[in-house]
Structure 1
Amino acid sequence: MLPPLADLLDSARVVALPMHTRFRGVDTREALLFEGPEGWAEFSPFLEYADAEAATWLAAAIDFAWRAQPEPLRDRIAVNATIPAVEASDVAEVLARFAGCRTAKVKVAEPGQTLADDVARVRAVREAMGPEGRIRIDANGLWNVDEAEHALHALTEFDLEYVEQPCATVPELAELRARVKYMGIPIAADESIRKSTDPLAVAREKAADLLVIKAQPLGGVTHALQIVTAAGFPVVVSSALDTAIGLSQGAALAAALPTLEYDCGLGTASLFLDDVADLRPVDGFIPASRVTPDAAALTRLAASEERRGWWIDRLRRCHALLDAS
């Protein structure tokens, strides 16, 4: 059952986390946190998302705060480093923030940059990690099929683990997968899962080799597990640029998976200059346990009154949508 709005508002705190490097177009990540009977949860759909999409993120937060989660099968989660679209010369400094991570996800296809920039960045990651490091790239759906095929030819020398969401649509992913199958670079789907009204279309169309799963956009841990089971594909659990609270929900999802073959994208706390709790990787892992925000951090990172009002209004609207559904 949906808890009353007043129960969410009683503990609601809006925070603004500063970032080391601009990532996904933002320098500061805002989130609304609240506490329920099971603990703290995070509501942080990206600012540009409409209420209908954002309401799913609220359902996930309520699920995490008000309902017991599936039993964990592991107590810690191996995570990857995340390299924003930085200059190649800055790669080593970014990697150093991800203590012990053996895998790196590298952002490519950044608007305003070129394929040469991507090649230089990935080369710098390979040089820093050595031949045993694992490198995956993420284009966020910004290439067309021809651009993606060309880019993979240029990047194949760096022994890619997989390419995440190289193109925007499921048919494009399927076509690209057929074209580059001989190269042995798996295709991973992210936006085609979390932003789709039919998250299983990728599996039906055999448009990817693995799925990137995020707890908040999919309505919570239990619903995400249902999608994973129905798809029958290997998965990577990833962050939606969450605070430590949201990362702990992602860790709960990763911990409940029957099998976990890949390092997860849940090390993104290292992208922040400050956070409500410390969930940065240690020896390449984060714990699969709930996180309680530090009281001093909630005060230190509190958003302005204007931004708090914006988030509270959004919470009210999304709660009304869930109540009416």
Structure 2
Amino acid sequence: MLPELADLLGTARVVRLPMRSRFRGITAREAVLFEGTEGWTEFSPFVEYDDQEAAAWLHAAIDFGWRSAPATLRDTIPVNATVPAVAAEDVAAVLDRYPGARTAKVKVAEPGQTLADDVARVRAVREHLGPEGRIRVDANTLWNVDEAEHAIHALAPFDLEYVEQPCATVEELAEIRRRTRYMDIPIAADESVRKASDPLAVARAGAADLLVIKAQPLGGIHSALRIVAEAGLPVVVSSAIDTSVGIAMGAHLAAAVPELEFDCGLGTVAMFEHDVAVEPLIPVDGAIPVVRPQVSTAQLDRLSAAEDRTEWWLDRVRRCYRIVEHAAAL
């Protein structure tokens, strides 16, 4: 059952969270928070996404705010540190924001940077984590197959756990996986799952060794769990640079996944200067708890988006709600 649009808009708060370092080309993250019958929930598709794609994120917000979460199999979720495309000398300061984390995801293929920059950054991460640490790199689709093969070869000496979305298409992922099989470095799919009309296409094509899943773009926890069951591949639960409310949604998803082999990308609240929760879901001893955080009214007021941005987001909620409502009626 969908809540009424008026119920969404009646509790909606639009916030803007400044980030400590530029990530994905942004320096602040905007989100809409709603207070549902089950607690606070979040709607935060990236601004460049069209309404059809963003509607899945609204469905996820409704799912978490107005529907009971599945039974949990664990109380805490181990998380990775996230290292933006910073200079090598800044890596240690970034990793220090993730106390106890044994795994780091490192951004590579940043526009305007070189492979040498990536190598230097990953080397600095390895030096900081030591030989026991786990390093995964994320290219966010920005290499072609030849560039990916060259880059993976250059980064292989740092003992990579996996390479996330090195190329854009399912066909390219299958090809780079074939070309680099001799290096025994797994290929993970992210955008090819969460931005696809058919999230299972990656698994059927044999294009990845594991899937990176995110609750919001997959339509919510229940929808994501169905995809996990059908795909039959190991998964990493990650975030889309969410507030603590969105991170809680991801944590509840990770807590319900039957097998959780990898540390999850749910420590990203550490990337913000401020958060909306009374107790932000920042990693402690390399993990976050599976809870619904209490939202601070004072922080909502402090972090409120400008009036024009608030109206932009509320209009977006109205448009996406019509899409969700139409799909529910089918």
Q: For the superposition of Structure 1 and Structure 2, which TM-score range results when normalised by the shorter chain? A: over 0.9
Cα distance in 2 between the residues matched to 1:310 and 1:283: 39
The one of 273, 291, 294 equivalent to 1:292 is 294
Q: Deviations over 1:130-174 (max 9, x none)?
A: 000100000001001110000011000000000000000001000
Partner Cα separation in structure 2 for residue 210 and residue 307 of structure 1: 37
Q: Deviations over 1:231-276 (max 9, x none)?
A: 0000000000100000000000000011100000000000000000
In 1, distance between residues paired with 2:229 and 2:96? 36
SS of 1:217's partner is coil
- Which residue matches 1:31? 31
Deviation sequence 1:14-51 (CA, Å, 0-9, x none): 00000000101110100000011101100000000000
1:181-221: CA deviations, max 9, x gaps? 11010000000000000110110011000000000000000
What letter is aligned with 1:129? L
Superposition deviation, residue 292 in structure 1: 2.2
Instruction: Report what 1:83 is aligned to.
Output: 83
Question: For residue 169 of structure 1, what is the aligned residue in structure 2?
Answer: 169
Secondary structure of the residue aligned to 1:141 is: coil
Q: Distance in 1 between matches of 2:252 and 2:131?
A: 31
Q: What CA distance in whole angstroms lies between the structure 2 residues aligned with 1:202 and 1:307?
A: 36
1:185-204 residue pairs with structure 2 within 5 A? 185-204=185-204
Q: What secondary structure is seen at the aligned counterpart in 1 of 2:131?
A: coil
Q: CA deviation at 1:322?
A: 1.3
1-structure distance, mates of 2:92, 2:18: 21
In structure 1, the residue matched to 2:117 is: 117
- Report the counterpart of residue 308 of structure 2 in structure 1: 306
For structure 2, the residue ranges without an aligned partner over 5 or more in a row are none
In structure 2, what is the equivalent of residue 264 of structure 1? 264
Aligned length: 325
CA distance in 1, matches of 2:94, 2:58: 31
Deviation at 1:324, TM superposition (A): 1.9
The 2-side partners of 1:323 and 1:132 are apart by 49
Q: Deviations over 1:76-97 (max 9, x none)?
A: 0000000000000100010001
How much has 1:3 moved relative to structure 2? 1.1
Amino acid across the alignment from 1:283: D
Q: How does 1:238-253 map to 2 (within 5 A)?
A: 238-253=238-253
Alignment of 1:180-219 (within 5 A): 180-219=180-219
TM-score, normalised relative to structure 1: 0.99
Task: Quote the residue 2:146 is aligned against.
Answer: 146
Provide Cα deviations, 1:58-112, integer angstroms capped at 9, x if missing partner. 0000000000010000000000000000000100010001111000000000001
Instruction: Supply the AA of the counterpart residue of 1:324.
Output: H
Match of 2:71? 71
What one-letter code is carried by the residue in structure 1 that aligns with 2:289?
P
Match of 2:284 in 1: 282
Flag as ranges the 4+ runs of structure 1 deviating above 2 A. Answer: none
Q: TM-score, normalised by structure 2?
A: 0.98
Distance in 1 of aligned mates of 2:52 and 2:4: 19
* Fraction of identical pairs, as percent: 70
Report the residue type matching 2:180 in the other structure. Answer: V
The one-letter code sitting in structure 2 at the alignment partner of 1:310 is W
Counterpart residue type for residue 49 of structure 1 = Y
- Secondary structure of the 1:100 match is coil
Distance 2:324 2:258 in 1: 30
Distance in 1, Cα, partners of 2:143 & 2:187: 13
Which residue identity is paired with 2:315? D
Distance in 1 between residues matched to 2:100 and 2:301, nearest whole Å: 31
Unaligned runs of 5+ in 1: none
Amino acid of the residue matched to residue 155 of structure 1? L
* Partner in structure 2 of residue 133 of structure 1: 133
Cα distance in 2, alignment partners of residues 321 and 151 from structure 1: 41
The correspondence of residues 309-320 of structure 1 with structure 2, limited to 5 A, is 309-320=311-322
- Aligned partner of 2:223 in structure 1 is 223
Determine the C-alpha separation between the residues in 1 that align with 2:326 and 2:182: 49
Q: Aligned partners of 2:33 and 2:324: how far apart in 1?
A: 18
1:10 deviates by 1.1
Q: CA deviation at 1:320?
A: 1.2
Match of 1:322 in 2: 324
Q: Does 1:42 align with 2:34?
A: no
Q: Secondary structure at the match of 2:47?
A: coil
- Looking at structure 2, the residues matched to 241 and 185 of structure 1 have their Cα atoms a distance apart, in angstroms, of 26
